[in-house]
Amino acid sequence: MVEFNRIYNVDSDLFMCELAREGIMFDLILTDPPYNLHKDFGNMSDCLSVPEFLDESRMRIKKCSDLLAPTGSLVWFGIHNYIGYLQTMMYDVGLYYRRMNIWHYNN
């Protein structure tokens, strides 16, 4: 059973399924998934082919959608390379894409 006000060190893709099974819903989900820029984070989480990355993103957007309360919001950090795809995926699961915030920085 999921308890609130705790930190869980888990695979979020699996944990989101558990949350949905328990009927837990959220007013806000904020996520900053890998951007698929092929950076070395010590694993392959940022090194997928484009079709694999889009499939992973589609699955995560659906899982987030399943966890949102009827008036809930999803804030998804991403990169311009894929934002058009992500916007379409959000429409496909019944979400309403509201706006994009863009900032420029070098890192």
Q: How confident is the model at residue 99 (pLDDT cuts 50, 70, 90)?
A: confident
Instruction: State the Cα–Cα distance between residues 96 and 75, nearest whole angstrom.
Output: 12
Q: Which residues 6+ apart lie within 8 Å of 88 measured at CB? A: none
Q: Where are the alpha helices (DSSP H) in 1-107?
A: 12-21, 50-67, 83-92
User: Among all chains, which residue has been given the structure tokens 């893709």?
Assistant: 13
CB 26 within 8 A of CB 72: yes
pLDDT in tens, 42-73: 888 789 999 999 999 999 999 999 999 999 99
